[in-house]
Structure 1
Amino acid sequence: MKEIKIETVLQVYDTVDELPRDVQDLMLKAVESRRNAYAPYSKFNVGAALLLDNGVIVSGSNQENASYPSGLCAERTAIYYAGANYPETALLKMAISATSQNKPTLSPIPPCGACRQAIAEYEVKQNKPIEIYFMGETGKVAMSKSLENLLPFIFDKSAL
């Protein structure tokens, strides 16, 4: 038997104001996008913004459906838009902001498992890490230098 130890390293900023200027701007786009969320069922609004290596910023918000599996998270809305419209462009940074209509969201809220898998696909495709910044409505912002910190043992094309 062999034991494997997994460690996750994140940087945590106390406020958005501590972030580098370009990431502050990206997070503001995520917050703006969050306001366009359609979340009548979960009452949980999420916005995501992606900085591409060509300087373009694309964003997305979660879009729910009464048939729950038919909805889509903000992170995947943004990443699939980028993939469809800028297929040869690398994704450099992603900012995510989430808020609940039911209670304050004061701590960083990471992407869900399905979104982590989608981000992993693009990180593997471009053979380059994607910095991921995530927060609640206000407060601390966590940053992962790569999706691998959030999803160790990723499932990718090498397993197929």
Structure 2
Amino acid sequence: MNQLNLTINYESYKSFSELSEEDKALCVKAEEALNSSYSPYSGFKVGTAIALAGGAVVLGSNQENVAYPSGLCAERVALFAIGSGHPGAVIERMAITAYTGNFKIEKPVTSCGACLQVMAEFERRQGKEIQVLFYCMDGEVIKVKSIQSLLPFGFIEDRLSG
């Protein structure tokens, strides 16, 4: 038996003001995406902004359904929009934020496992790392340079693609 350790490197910022102008602009776009959230059941809005190579930005927001499993997270809404509307586009960066009127969000909200798996597939498919900003509007920001660092043991099965 071998016992191995896994270390995840990320950057932590105390506030939005510490970010680069490029990262700030993407976070503001993620906030804009909150406006299209359909979240009448949870009251928890999530917005995602994805910067593509070439400068385009694609937005996504969570879309709930009375049959909870039928809804979709903001990250997958935006990623699938890229897959269908911008096939072959290279994703450079993502910003994800959340808002609820029910309580104050004090820490960045991170992606669920299903979203991480989809994010990992996009990163693997394009052969280039995707930087992710988990943005808390009134507080900390977490920045990772790659989806691989968030999901090091993501599902990969090369034989399925043949």
Q: TM-score, normalization: structure 1?
A: 0.95
Q: Are positions 1:128 and 2:128 aligned together?
A: yes
- 8 Å contact 1:124–1:156 — kept in the other structure? no
What is the deviation of 1:159? Answer: 6.7
What is the deviation of 1:80? Answer: 0.8
After superposition, the C-alpha distances for 1:135-155 in whole angstroms (9 at most, x for unaligned) are 233211000100111111111
Mapped to 2, the partners of 1:33 and 1:26 lie a distance apart of: 11
Partner residue in 2 for 1:139? 139
Partner residue in 2 for 1:46? 46
- 8 Å contact 1:48–1:74 — kept in the other structure? yes
- 8 Å contact 2:16–2:137 — kept in the other structure? no
Partner residue in 2 for 1:26? 26
**Which SS does the other structure have where 1:117 is aligned?**
helix
Mapped to 2, the partners of 1:70 and 1:45 lie a distance apart of: 16
Partner residue in 2 for 1:113? 113
5+ long unaligned stretches in structure 2: none
- 8 Å contact 1:62–1:72 — kept in the other structure? yes
**Superposed CA RMSD:** 1.2
Partner residue in 2 for 1:68? 68
Mapped to 2, the partners of 1:93 and 1:157 lie a distance apart of: 25
**1:78-97 residue pairs with structure 2 within 5 A?**
78-97=78-97
What is the deviation of 1:18? Answer: 1.2
Of 114-123 and 94-103, deviating more is 94-103
Aligned residues: 160
1:55 alignment partner AA: G
5+ long unaligned stretches in structure 1: none
After superposition, the C-alpha distances for 1:85-143 in whole angstroms (9 at most, x for unaligned) are 11111100000011223211011111111110110010000011100001233211000
Runs of at least 4 residues off by over 6 Å: none
After superposition, the C-alpha distances for 1:18-72 in whole angstroms (9 at most, x for unaligned) are 1111111110000011122111111110000000012100001000000111111
Mapped to 2, the partners of 1:159 and 1:153 lie a distance apart of: 17
Q: TM-score, normalization: structure 2?
A: 0.94
Mapped to 1, the partners of 2:133 and 2:145 lie a distance apart of: 9
Mapped to 1, the partners of 2:76 and 2:49 lie a distance apart of: 11
Of 123-132 and 32-41, deviating more is 32-41
